[in-house]
Amino acid sequence: MSRGFTLLEVLVALTILALAMATLVPLSSHGLRLVRLSDEYQEAVSLADRLVRSLEWPREGVDEGRDGGFRWERRVALVTVPDDLTPPVGPSPRLYALSVTVRWGATRSLELASLRTLPGTPDQ
């Protein structure tokens, strides 16, 4: 009785190993691309959030800029508040619609929209 593996058994094992490696290498490469995309997306969300929160007293209009590899556009518009939602006494609220679009790469983009209510004007 002989001990060890035959040449055929070794070749079959090497073929199975080669097929497994040929499958796993592209999967790990795809996983790394997804991690990079997720990181870029998280940075874009953080930038958009920072741009929305940085406005203490919004003014209507459009701002544009760059931050690293990101291009952004911030839009601010005053929204008319219906009369039945305004308080009978005190300053009438001002409602602003804020929208930030962040773009990066050739086709990637993210839009964050929010509303902000302020009790009056900065002069009051």
Look at the chain and report how many structural domains it folds into: 1
Q: What is the pLDDT of residue 46?
A: 95
Give residue 49's domain range: 7-118
Structure-block tokens of residue 56:
């203490």
101 falls within a domain: yes
Q: What is the pLDDT of residue 97?
A: 93
Q: What is the pLDDT of residue 121?
A: 52
124 falls within a domain: no
Which residues, in sequence order, are CB contacts of 73 under 8 Å at separation 6+?
62, 63, 64, 100, 101
CA nearest 98: which of 46, 63, 123? Answer: 63
CA nearest 116: which of 63, 84, 70, 74? Answer: 74
Q: What is the pLDDT of residue 124?
A: 43
Is this model's pTM higher than 0.85 or not? no
CATH number for the domain that contains residue 20: 3.30.1300
18 falls within a domain: yes
123 falls within a domain: no
80 falls within a domain: yes
Per-residue pLDDT of the chain (124 residues; tens, 9 = 90+): 567 778 888 899 999 999 988 888 888 888 888 999 999 999 999 999 999 988 878 889 999 999 999 999 999 999 987 778 777 887 777 889 999 999 999 999 999 999 988 776 554 4
